[in-house]
Amino acid sequence: MTKKLFHIDAFTEEPFKGNPAAICFMQQDESDSWLAAFAAEMNLPITAYIIPHPNTIQDNATPSPDAHFSLRSFTPNTEMTLCGHATLASAHALWESKVVSKKQNIVFHTKDELLTAKLSQLGIEIDLPLINTTPLDQQNLKKEIEALLNCDVIEIHQCGNRRLALLPDAEQLTQLNPDLGKLKSMDIEGLIITAASTQTLYDFVSRFFAPKVGVDEDHVTGSAHCALASFWSQKTMKTQFNAYQASPRSGSLKLTLKNNRVLIRGQAKTILTGEIYE
């Protein structure tokens, strides 16, 4: 049985920008070993697998008007429980392939929770959980991160199993060449770097490094912005942001905080489609 495959660049309107993802349509689940092996074969920041999910039955026993799918996401070496660009790219693939009507919202059932996507004239909006950030007053940790970044750090925050570092300015952020070996040896999933933007178009800029999960530098990271939205909201008391991830491929996101959720809006571009033969 063949499986439909898409290569999609998320959080961009231009080809070969933003964050690439492989999106695989399946009719039934495969073993974890198959899913992991295929993600390693694709060798992209994320490979997402979509399987039709029975529509949720409402109280009146009628099917939900939304389209429901199970969603699992793998880097080349591990499964991720939350991936924003996989969610956005998956929704884009479903609408563009006409599997789902553009009038329908999409509900993704992940291992941890439900993620939703809806389409508007302004792009795709995905609804992700807010990730709270907590300041860490640990001088040893601050020195360790300054050493691997080779620059000064103003603050270190914890956000789940990641760390967030605030830098003095955006120029330092764009010029970073971190010691990925040192970062990989730390007991964290990844490191978010951020600074206030010097461009009026954006509120803040960021980069994200996660060599422990097989992604040295992620290009545009939706899940990192669930923490960045929380962090910058505490700093500025704002609830809406224009964000820019300054990776070599780069990408932009529009963020809105709402009831412990982060609404992330962005674009996507299909690069190629194909089929998987076994």
Task: Tokens 């360790």: give the residue.
Answer: 144
Do 46 and 143 belong together in one domain?
no
Does residue 81 share a domain with residue 182? no
CA distances from 276 to 26, 72, 89, 93, 259 (A): 10, 17, 18, 16, 40
Shared domain check, 160 and 114: no
Judged by DSSP in three states, 270 sits in strand
Distance CA 136, CA 53 (A): 41
- Same domain as 95, residue 36: yes
Do β-strands 162-166 and 155-159 pair in parallel, antiparallel, or remain unpaired?
Answer: antiparallel
Q: What value does the CA radius of gyration of the chain take, rounded to a whole number of Å?
A: 19
Q: Structural domain tally of the chain?
A: 2
Q: Are residues 77 and 27 in the same domain?
A: yes
- Range(s) of the domain holding residue 53: 3-129+264-276
Among residues 206, 226, 210, the alpha carbon closest in space to that of 218 is found at: 210
pLDDT in tens, 113-170: 999 999 988 899 999 999 999 999 889 999 999 999 999 999 999 999 999 999 999 9
Residues 153 and 56 in one domain: no
Tell me how far apart the terminal alpha carbons of the chain are, to the nearest angstrom: 7
Check: CB of residue 99 under 8 Å from CB of residue 82. no
Are residues 39 and 103 part of one domain? yes
Encode the chain (278 residues) as per-residue pLDDT tens digits.
Answer: 679 999 999 999 999 999 999 999 999 889 999 999 999 999 999 999 999 987 654 444 555 689 999 999 999 999 999 999 999 999 999 999 999 999 999 999 999 899 999 998 889 999 999 999 999 988 999 999 999 999 999 999 999 999 999 999 999 999 999 999 999 999 999 999 999 999 999 999 999 999 999 999 999 999 999 999 999 999 999 999 999 999 999 999 999 999 999 999 999 999 999 999 87
In whole angstroms, what is the distance from residue 278 CA to residue 239 CA? Answer: 47
Enumerate the β-bridge partners of residue 218. Answer: 208
Q: Are 156 and 186 in contact (CB under 8 A)?
A: no
| Same domain flag for 139 and 109 | no
DSSP tally for the chain: helices H, then strands E? 6, 18
Can you give the CATH number for the domain in which 227 is found?
3.10.310.10
- Between helix 222-236 and helix 84-96 the angle, nearest 10°, is 120
By CB atoms closer than 10 A (0-12, 13-18, 19+), residue 143 is exposed
Q: Which residues pair with 276 in a beta bridge?
A: 3
* Residue 16 CB partners (closer than 8 Å, separation 6+): 9, 249, 271
**How open is the CA angle 243-247-248, to the nearest 5 degrees?**
135
- On whether both 253 and 270 belong to a single domain, the answer is no
pTM of the model: 0.92
Same domain, 51 and 149: no
10 neighbors 85 (Cβ within 8 angstroms) = yes
CB atoms within 10 A of CB 181: 9
Q: Are 100 and 185 members of one domain? A: no
Q: How far apart are CA 266 and CA 84, in angstroms?
A: 10
